[in-house]
Amino acid sequence: MSSSSSHEMLKKQTVLVTRPEQQQLPLIDTLNRHGVKTLSKPMLVIDELRSEVQINQIKSKIMSFAEYDIAIFVSTNAARFGSQWIENYWPQFPVSLQVIAIGPSTAKAVADLLPCKVIQSASGVTSEDILKLAQLQNIDGLKIAIFRGVGGRELLASALRERGAMVDYFEVYTRQGCSYPEKDFIDELLSADVNIFAANSIETVNQLKANLGEHFKNFSGLSLLVPSARVAEQARVDGFTAVVNCDGASNEAFIAALLRLADTTLESQPQGEG
C-alpha cells in the first residue's frame, strides 16, 4: 500500500490523548503534523511529593545516593522528578554509578537531565527486558536504587533481590486518576469524532474505562494504542477488543502504529473504494 494513501488515512483519525498534562504537547504536536486530529483528556495527574513523611523518606535516601552501585529509572516522570532531587543534593554526580532506564523515551529524558551515560535494553520497554541486561546479572551484594512514583509494580525489585541485590525504592512523585462527569466526557468524544484511544500505562487504561462508565461497551471496539505487550494484555482483560501494541512509548512509535492501522484499513477495503 502506498505511503501517500496511508498518510491520507491519518487525516481521518481523531486520537484521544490521555497522557498527563505535562506530557501531552509533544505527542499532540507530532500527531497534528501528520494530519491527525486530537482530543486532550489526561487520565492521570502527576505531582511532586506533598506528604511530609514521603518527603523526609526520599530526602534521607538521596543523601546516601553515592552509596548505590546502580540507579534504575522506570519512566520519564521518574527521570524528571528524580533528577530534581539528585541535583538538589548531588551537584557532582557519582561517577561510579551505573544508570539504567526502561525504554528509549526514559533513557533520553535521563540523558538530557543528568550528566551520565544511560544504559537501556535493545529488546523492549518493560521490566522483563531490563532484567535481561548483562549489568543486572551478577549483582549479589550490590545496592540498587529504583526511581519511580509512589506505588507500582513489584516485579523488578523482587527479581533483583532474588539475585542478591539490596534494592531501595526512590519514590519521587505521586499519581492520581482524573475523573470526568460521564455525560460530558462521552459528549466530548462524540463531538470530536474520536475513533482511536492512546494510553501509556495500565493505570491509564483503567482510568479510561472508569471514565467511559456505562458507555464502555459502545467504545470498547475502538483501536487502543498502548506501548507494550503487558499493557495490551491488561487492556484486553479490561474488555478493549482492538488493542494495538506500539512496541514503545515514543511519539514515533505511536505514529508508526497509526500508519500500520491505516495500511490494514486500506487493505481491507474492497477494490474501487477510496
Rounded to the nearest 10 degrees, the angle between the axes of helix 202-212 and helix 229-238 is 20
3-44+180-268 with 51-174: one CATH topology? yes
- Model confidence pLDDT, tens digit, residues 93-136: 888 999 999 988 899 999 999 999 999 988 777 888 899 999 99
Cα–Cα distance, 66 to 192 (Å, whole number): 50
Q: Return the C-alpha cell found at 187.
A: 459528549
What's the mean pLDDT in 223-248?
Answer: 94
Residue 247 falls in which region: left (phi positive, over 0), alpha (psi -120 to 50) or beta: left
pLDDT at 221 (0 to 100): 97
Note the pTM of the prediction, 2 decimals: 0.83
Which of 3-17, 82-96, 258-272 is modeled with the greatest confidence? 82-96
pLDDT, tens digit, 9 for 90 and up, residues 23-75: 899 999 999 999 999 999 999 999 999 999 999 999 999 999 999 999 999 99
Domain regions of the chain by residue span: 3-44+180-268, 51-174
What is the per-residue pLDDT across 164-175, written as a single tens digit (0 to 9) for each? 999 999 999 999
CATH number of 51-174: 3.40.50.10090
Distances (CA, A) of 249 to 19, 133, 203, 234: 11, 20, 15, 16
CATH 3.40.50.10090 fits 3-44+180-268, yes or no: yes
Does the pLDDT at position 13 exceed 70? yes
Higher pLDDT, residue 100 or 91: 100
Q: Which residues 6+ apart lie within 8 Å of 225 measured at CB?
A: 15, 196, 197, 198, 199, 244, 246, 254, 257, 258
Residues in Cβ contact with 151 at an 8 Å cutoff, skipping those fewer than 6 apart: 171
Q: What is the mean pLDDT of residues 210-238?
A: 95
pLDDT at 3 over 80: no
Question: What does the pLDDT average to over 249-261?
Answer: 90
Considering the chain, what percentage of its residues have pLDDT values greater than 70? 95
Q: What is the DSSP letter of 148?
A: E
pLDDT confidence of residue 1: 43
Give the tens place of pLDDT for each residue, 195-218.
Answer: 999 999 999 999 999 999 999 999
